[in-house]
Amino acid sequence: MPRRVIPGLVIAALAAACTTQDVTGPSPLELQLAEEAQVIAQDVGTTWGVTHDHWIGRLLDTLRTTDDPEAQALVQQAREYRELAHRAREAGEYEAAREYLHLAFRSLLAAVIEIYPNAPARTGAAVDEAVARIELHLGDREAPRIRRVLTHVRELRTQADRALAEGDAVTALAVNLRALHILHRLVHHLRDGMDHDGDADRDMDGHVDQVSM
């Protein structure tokens, strides 16, 4: 004889299944806070003029009217690395292509510093301002994933300051830009287990392909 299922139990089970949330993901409130924090970071980056695309665009605009042989040589080096990246990509050597794009990006950052020596420090100060404003916005509200990302960003700032103190201005600028880029895409970086640094670096390196040099 077929076993009868009590309708009330079925309804209760379905209701529980529908209302159960994925506890491994950010809450709707934290996603909203992350979106608001992103806007704060983007506003700081734009106001201070310290995003990677701003620095590179400003560099190339300046070099159209300013003769700086060292900066020009670094931009030419970036062009050559980009060409090597294109050749490697056509040959199916994708890891080599990514490495060449990264070298091209660092060459452009070196040229930025040649023209604007304060770029690493100014970018770092902007990151500090963005973090402070985001923390003020969060207040005492629960946002564990956002706070973990902010902790990582502060660690990056420490790395950047150490690099600058050791005379490696290019790395200092690169790490500060990485920190700012993470804040600019905070919602994306709420996912657990993701490579925050690698994701940000790949995104910024890819910008080299879009620059008219």
Tokens of 6: 């009590």
Q: How many residues does the chain have?
A: 213
Q: Give the C-alpha separation, 52 to 5, whole Å.
A: 62
CA of residue 123 relative to chain centroid, distance = 13
**Which residue ranges make up each domain of the chain?**
7-210
Least reliable range by pLDDT among 1-5, 73-77, 175-179 = 1-5
> In whole angstroms, what is the distance from residue 23 CA to residue 25 CA?
6
pLDDT digits (tens, 9 = 90+) for 85-115: 999 999 999 999 999 999 999 999 999 999 9
- CA 74, distance to chain mean position in Å, is 24
Enter the tokens of residue 157: 């700032």
Does residue 67 carry a pLDDT above 80?
yes
195 within 8 A of 188, measured Cβ to Cβ: no
pTM, two decimal places: 0.86
Per the structure block, which two tokens stand in for 91?
A: 């040959």
Q: What is the DSSP letter of 2?
A: P
**pLDDT tens digit string along 150-176?**
999 999 999 999 999 999 999 999 999
Are 205 and 183 contacting, i.e. CB atoms less than 8 angstroms apart? no
CA angle 199, 201, 202 (to 5 degrees): 65
Residues 6 or more apart from 131 whose CB is under 8 A from it?
150, 153, 154, 157, 183
**CA atoms of 144 and 56, how far apart (whole Å):** 34
Given a cut of 80, whether residue 138 has pLDDT beyond it is: yes
The phi-psi region of residue 193 (left if phi > 0; otherwise alpha if psi is between -120 and 50; otherwise beta) is left
Distances from the Cα of 182 to the Cαs of 14, 79, 149, in angstroms?
39, 26, 8
Whole-number Å distance between alpha carbons of 208 and 213: 9
